[in-house]
Chains A and B, each alone.
Chain A
Amino acid sequence: MIMARPKPIEEIVDVVKDFDKVLVAGCNGCVAVCEAGGLKEVEILASTLRMYFSSRQKAVEIGEISLTRQCDKEYLNELQNVIGNYDAVLSIACGAGVQFMAEMYSDRRIFPGVNTNFIGVTLEKGVWSERCAACGECVLASTGGICPIARCSKRMLNGPCGGSSNGKCEVNREIDCGWHLIYERLKTLGELKRFETPTDAKDWTTSRDGGPRKNIKEVSQA
């Protein structure tokens, strides 16, 4: 799922401090699972803002709402009768949700309350880790199911580099070397021979390098 983390409260306060009525809008999709932008986080952020403004004797009305998803018009429509009551919205959905809300309510000020950072998994309670870089042309079939684009700091297709040490990346010891993981997996699968054939330069047109992307599902005419 798409991962995000809350923006520092100082940064949030700075963008909303001049408004009288602010709506905090959460999303019950991915960002709820990674505990950055769901119903619970809406409550926490709204309370924090109320305390902040009341301690400064500033009357700011903070509203709360959480939508099923902010990346679908159907759910964003639920704001139609509410949004007019506010000067600004703090969306704590991912960057797609924030933008889609701004697209639909183009006369409103919509601000992001989280930093969207990656596509990943829940390793354990409170720990999320990147797995996919959305390059648009999946290579997992040849790398033992471990992505070198997302998990190698240099997105090498012929790794590991010379900086791999004790299974860790040269960038820092907290990062597993993606290619070390690939090596271990291929060894387990008895497919180490894959290491002997150079992988060609990747076609990045399906990635962000090809410009903003769009998927259109072909509808069968049967």
Chain B
Amino acid sequence: MSTTTPSKLEKILAAGHFAVTSECGPPRGADITVVDEKAQLVGPYVDVINVTDNQTAVVRMSSLASCIRIKQMGFEPVLQMTTRDRNRIALQSDLLGAGAFGINNVLCLTGDHQSFGDHPTAANVFDVDSTQLIKIVKKMRDEKKLYSGFEMATPPQMFIGAAENPFADPFEIRVLRLAKKVAAGAQFIQTQCIYNMDKFKTWMGEVVARGLHEHVSVLAGITPMKSVGMARYMKTKVPGMDVPDELIKRLQGVPKDKVAEEGVNIAIEQIEELKQVPGVRGFHIMAIEWEAKVPEIVQRAGLYPRPKVD
């Protein structure tokens, strides 16, 4: 597979390795050391670090600023961009800024509705949606044009990613929607956290049946459960999350001080199982406010050391 950008993630995937990505949520303040610490913690164990963009509509340090910091630390960031807060003018402006600082990965998202966040009375933007953002990034890179048609000498070189949730409804539309994102230009997909393995495999089977896996690298979303409470919360409170009862029972079946360890065990078993699923090209490990567990998960899942690519 030939590469289209200087992205390390693209090279890892092109070389046929399982990719490993993780996430860093910037702080709700101006202290950059929080970013530094999270990046130092997970950086050596993953290929790229996603930086969330005001996730769940809570104001945090800007994704772009944090990405620049991570890049300067010698790690490779993935700029997450939601279309909730910025219109096509601001999005493209940030993409140019990202390109200028050598950021080569973007994850195009629509974003959680602002009613979930810390400023529920805010107006939203939604000038474009995630699929349209993918098209904008692709046009900038491949045609060297802004969405307006204005030609630029130096476009940002982005390896283009998107998210997909195999567990949202209607289920039948989920593969078609992935096809749409691929048609728009998505090159990698990070999925929603997987807990219902059977449903994920059904979805992945359809992805492969349609041949989409030949055009897009699917990175399976893994989030270890820290507690029974977290599992219950994810099941009942997080839209589009599918947590089977058996998983909750398994966590309940171990002593309280062993629940977190069991959560990590489950995540590692999932990775091992998913390695065998055709079309799965890597893992997106989202240890939510639990970044310290990423090195252990990566090592125990046999994904360390990370391969070197030029």
**Which residues in A have some Cβ–Cβ distance to B below 8 Å?**
153-167, 170-172, 177, 180, 183-184, 192, 195-202, 204
Cross-chain contact B183 with A197 (CB below 8 angstroms): yes
Given A158-B180, A160-B168, A183-B173: A171 touches B113 (CB 8 Å cut-off): yes
Output the nearest chain B residue to A163 by Cβ-Cβ distance: B239
Contacts of B135 in A (CB 8 A): 198, 200-201
Pick from B116, B130, B136, B173: contact of A195, CB under 8 Å: B173
Within 8 Å CB of B80, what residues of A? Answer: none
A-B pairs under 8 A by CB, number: 104
Given contacts A162-B192, A180-B170, A200-B135, is CB(A154)–CB(B113) below 8 Å?
A: yes
CA distance A197 to B124 in the complex (A): 25
Please indicate the chain A residues that have their CB under 8 angstroms from the CB of B128 in the complex: 201-202
Q: Is B168 touching A204 in the complex (CB atoms < 8 A)?
A: no
Report the Cα distance A158→B173, complex, angstroms. 11
Cα A172 to Cα B128 with chains together (Å): 22
Contact B183 A198 (CB under 8 A): yes
Of B130, B168, B184, the residue contacting A163 (CB under 8 A) is B168
Whether a CB of chain A sits under 8 angstroms from the CB of B62 is no
B141 contacts the other chain (CB 8 A): no
Q: How far is the CA of A47 from the CA of B29 in the complex (A)?
A: 53
Closest A residue to B179 by beta carbon equals A196
Binding site for A on B (CB under 8 A): 84, 88, 110-113, 115-116, 124, 126-132, 134-136, 147, 163-165, 168-170, 172-173, 176-177, 179-181, 183-184, 192, 239-240
Which residue of chain A is the closest to B124 with respect to CB atoms? A154
What are some 7 contacts across the A-B interface (CB < 8 A)? A155-B126, A157-B129, A161-B110, A163-B239, A183-B172, A192-B176, A199-B132
Known: A163-B168, A164-B239, A165-B168; 13 extra A-B contacts, CB below 8 A, are A158-B129, A158-B131, A161-B129, A162-B168, A184-B170, A195-B177, A196-B179, A198-B134, A198-B183, A198-B184, A199-B131, A201-B127, A201-B136
Interface-centre pick from B111, B136, B147, B176 (highest chain A CB count, 10 A): B176
What separation, in Å, do the CA atoms of A176 and B258 have in the docked complex? 41
Partner of B169, one of A164, A172, A196: A164
Which residues does chain B contribute within 8 Å of A183, judged by CB atoms? 170, 172-173
A156–B134 Cα distance when bound, in Å, is: 14
Q: A153-B113, A156-B126, A158-B180 are in contact. Are A164 and B240 (CB under 8 A)?
A: yes
In the complex, which residue of chain A has the Cβ closest to the Cβ of B176?
Answer: A195
The interface residues of chain A lying within 8 Å CB-to-CB of B192 are 162
A200-B176 contact, Cβ under 8 Å, with A153-B113, A162-B168 = no
The 4 closest A-B pairs by CB, nearest first: A162-B165, A158-B131, A170-B239, A163-B239
A110 to B198, CA, bound (A): 63
Q: Are B88 and A197 touching (Cβ within 8 A)? A: no
